[in-house]
Every structure is written in C-alpha cells, then in structure tokens.
Amino acid sequence: MKKIRYVTVLLSLSVMLFAASCAPSYYVASRPVEPVYVRPVAPYPNAYWVPDEWTWRNGVYIHVNGYYVRSRPNHVYVRGYWRPGRRGYAWHRGHWR
C-alpha cells in the first residue's frame, strides 16, 4: 500500500513539473520598448550578469531588470528573445544551457 501511494505521489509530481515547464506563450501586437538603465558594478569576482527579461503579469508584459549570479561551470546563458508569430510577438525566457 505504501509503495502504491509513493508511486502515485511521484507520478503526480512529475506531471505537475512537466505541465509547469510547458508555460503558455502570451502574444502582443508589437514588442515593448526596453527601458534604459545602467548595469551596477559586479558585487563579487566572476559574477555573471543575467540580462533583463520580460514577464507576463496582469495581461501585459512587465520589464524585469537584470541581476548578477554566480557563474555556472560548463554552462552558458542563452539570452531571452522576442519571437514573432502569426498572432504577434511572444517572449521566450533566457536559460542556462
């Protein structure tokens, strides 16, 4: 009985994680204008600057400033981008690869 419960919980968590990774794309007719701001000085050596992003909140894209993180060995950061489609533009988030 415990094994069945364990498998059920594990399977449901897997499904939820998969569903969360398939985030919907929200489209806008034109790309928003990026605000201009100054990047702050790195807070520690080997800090990596993650570029600014856009996030969907309350029916509009909101600009999120960039930030510093510790660099990840053997990884490269792929910057987010606006992808054109038939319904307009959709933001695809940046990620570590």
- Rounded to two decimals, the pTM is 0.62
pLDDT (tens digit per residue) in 40-94: 999 999 899 999 999 999 988 999 999 999 988 899 999 999 999 888 999 999 9
Are the C-beta atoms of 66 and 50 separated by less than 8 Å?
yes
Are the C-beta atoms of 46 and 20 separated by less than 8 Å?
no
Q: How many angstroms separate the CA atoms of 52 and 67, rounded?
A: 8
Domain ranges of the chain: 27-96
pLDDT (tens digit per residue) in 5-50: 654 544 554 544 444 444 557 787 777 777 787 889 999 998 999 9
Q: How many angstroms separate the CA atoms of 1 and 14, rounded?
A: 20
